[in-house]
Amino acid sequence: KDFRNNVKPNWCPGCGDFSVQASIQRAAVNLGLEPEQLAVISGIGCSGRISGYINAYGLHGVHGRALPIAQGLKMANRELTVIASGGDGDGFAIGMGHTVHAIRRNIDITYIVMDNQIYGLTKGQTSPRSGEGFKTKSTPSGSIETPLAPLEMALAVGATFVAQAFSSNVKQLTSIIEAAVQHKGFSMVNVFSPCVTFNKVNTYDWFREHVTDLDETPGYDSSNRMAAMSKLMETSGLITGIIYQDTSRKSYEDLVPGFKAEGLANQDIKISKEDFEKLVAEFK
């Protein structure tokens, strides 16, 4: 049981994405998974390469489309542990429509966003998560847009699991991924994953200085949605830990008639050769 493969990541030395990769691998081992029980589906961007660096099923999809692929996979084979992953540009710009609807649909998958507040693969442009005044080649005078607050957004559209981590705290990130995978429903995990090459503002030191760890906040109640929203707003989203979890809501698969026991991949679908050919012809 080993989730490492022999592909050497071509991320820049020090990139936060290394820790996300290591944390997924550790979490998978700690959860007792076998490589053939895990699928990692990614979008486009530096972070999108992660699906090729883990010894499990993987698919490096198209830009912003990791979630539709991951949801289809889970519906076809609900026995698989499915992790979708990508960057903040992938998930919160081109893929935002999918993110919102996957959250409210509550399919039992885990979504890990490697949030570096910039577009790294295309050499440093302002992303939906970049702060006001953030200067890049695409905003040389500084960004004048309000940065997206992804976790407030997730809570607003009905998320049942909302967490955030920092890639320099591998212990917490690993335990959050474990909890996210075990959660029966959609798990949203945002990870502060610094881009050491292009983002000279949101660095490791900047996060160390600004982030509060909920695990060190006595009395925080992660089952209280209002408290979660307040905490995010009062800290400008700069917190780590499990911010909100609702275990009472059923997952999408548990509610879809016919999918209760097994996904399509394991159903005994009885169809004659003639009917199958007729069905295929409809899509030609």
Give the footprint of ligand SF4 on residues 168-187 (CB under 6 A): none
Neighbours of 29 (CB within 10 A): 13
Q: Is 207 in the site for ligand SF4 (CB under 6 A)?
A: no
Which residues lie closer than 8 Å to 151 by C-beta, 6 or more apart?
Answer: 162, 164, 188, 190, 232, 237, 243
Min CB(114)–ligand SF4 separation in Å? 8
- Candidate residues 100, 197, 206, 254; the one interacting with ligand SF4 per rule CB under 6 A: 197
Q: Which among 7-15, 36-44, 148-156, 163-171 is the span making contact with ligand SF4, rule CB under 6 A?
A: 7-15
Min CB(265)–ligand SF4 separation in Å? 34
- Candidate residues 28, 46, 177, 243; the one interacting with ligand SF4 per rule CB under 6 A: 46
Q: Which is nearer to ligand SF4, 199 or 222 (CB)?
A: 199
Which residues lie closer than 8 Å to 155 by C-beta, 6 or more apart?
Answer: 162, 225, 228, 229, 232, 244
Find out whether 92 and 99 touch, Cβ atoms under 8 Å.
Answer: yes
Q: Which among 34-42, 177-185, 190-198, 243-251 is the span making contact with ligand SF4, rule CB under 6 A?
A: 190-198
Contact flags string 57-86 toward ligand SF4, x per CB under 6 A:
------------------------------
Secondary element (H or E) of residue 59: strand 57-60
Residue 50 vs residues 19, 61, 129: alpha-carbon distances, Å: 11, 11, 21
How many degrees, rounded to 5, is the angle at CA 210 between CA 45 and CA 201?
Answer: 45
Q: Is 17 in the site for ligand SF4 (CB under 6 A)?
A: yes
Min CB(216)–ligand SF4 separation in Å? 28
Closest CA to 213 of 182, 192, 187: 192
Min CB(263)–ligand SF4 separation in Å? 34
Burial call 60-97: b when 16+ CB within 10 Å, e when fewer: bbeebbbbbbbbebbbebbebbbbbbbbbbbbbbbbbe
Min CB(42)–ligand SF4 separation in Å? 13
Q: How many chain residues touch ligand SF4 (CB under 6 A)?
A: 12
Strand partners, 244: 162
Interface positions with ligand SF4 (CB under 6 A): 11-12, 15, 17, 46, 116, 120-121, 195-198
